[in-house]
Amino acid sequence: VIGVVIGKTDVRSFPDRKNIGTERYTFSFTIRDSPTYFINVQSWGREEYIRSLSESFRVGDCVTIENPLIQSKEAEREEKFNPVTPSGYKLLLSENHSVVKTSSCYDTDTRLLALLHLPVKDPQDYYSLGDIMANGQSLHGRVLNVLAAVMAGSE
């Protein structure tokens, strides 16, 4: 699978239920290969593997993923923490079987770079800040999509 990274989470750790007293590490990212299709990728493993993998690329890089495990996603649970994707599946990376290679999108396919700037939601499914301010009471408790642009950032 080849795509441009359009989102990425920080590395997190959780107590390992199988090996009491140890931690499992995870992070996820979202890749896109067309205006319509994007998928979430999750990786679990040892701290060294997860930190090294996470540091090997950033949002905007193109990645080639070899030998991922394809799993049905549990939409209710997973989409609380990851973007809602059009696919019923997610990719799972394992330290022993999967490989992630990074490259410049210019080297891979310059069309992928244009995908970085496309929203992942239907253009009719957004609220403007003005709408939210004007209708704040009636929107209380609802989950809303807001489209925003970052004017400046630090890195």
- Looking at residue 153, its pLDDT comes to 65
Domains and CATH numbers, the chain: 2-115 (2.40.50.140)
Q: Report pTM.
A: 0.77
The tens-digit pLDDT sequence of the chain (155 residues) is 889 999 999 999 988 888 888 889 999 999 998 888 999 999 999 999 999 999 999 998 999 999 999 999 886 666 666 777 888 899 999 999 999 998 766 666 677 777 877 777 776 777 777 888 888 778 777 777 777 667 776 65
What Rg, from alpha-carbon coordinates, does the chain have?
18
| C-alpha to C-alpha distance for 119 and 3, rounded to whole angstroms | 16
- The three state secondary structure string of 111-150 is HHHHHHHCCCCCCCCCECHHHHHHCHHHHCCCCCCECCCC
Per-residue burial over 106-132, b if 16 or more Cβ lie within 10 Å, else e, is eebbeebeebeeeeeeeeeeebeeeee
- Looking at residue 155, its pLDDT comes to 58
- Looking at residue 78, its pLDDT comes to 63
Sequence letter at residue 27: F
Q: Give the phi and the psi of residue 132 in degrees, each rounded to 5.
A: -65, -40
| C-alpha to C-alpha distance for 141 and 64, rounded to whole angstroms | 40
Triad 38, 85, 77: Cα angle to 5°: 140
- Looking at residue 110, its pLDDT comes to 73
